[in-house]
Amino acid sequence: MIEHNSLVSSMMSYSEQQFIHSLRKEPDKRSIQELQVIYAHLASIEALSKLRESALRSLCTMVRYERHCANDILYCRGELASCWYILLCGAVFIDGQMFLPRSR
């Protein structure tokens, strides 16, 4: 039986694998090269592409990778959100609507 993580890794491009690897590292332990990998990927995301370079580079030092199981509730209506998420794969339901990650 193929482990889920191995299957997902085999379907990702090398650059996507490097991006996930870099995100999984503790932010204060990332190398300059890992920060550059994160920057390049985030800059290609439409919602972040208009940020100033300095703001995006700052974001690269803080972002982290989280994996959630199906049906996990991240926020409930009326709760104060302390962070926001970038959906890399899967789907999310918000107020009864499904959202999928954008293809590049």
Instruction: Name residue, tokens 């794969």.
Output: 89
- Residue 47's domain comprises 4-99
Tally of domains within the chain = 1
3-class DSSP assignment, residue 94: strand
DSSP codes of every residue in 12-32: S-HHHHHHHHHHHS-GGG--H
The model carries a pTM of 0.76
Walking along the chain (104 residues) 10 residues at a time, the average pLDDT comes out as 45 86 96 97 92 96 92 86 84 81 64
pLDDT at 103: 59
For residue 36, tell me if it sits in a domain: yes
For residue 104, tell me if it sits in a domain: no
**Percentage above 70 pLDDT, the chain:** 87
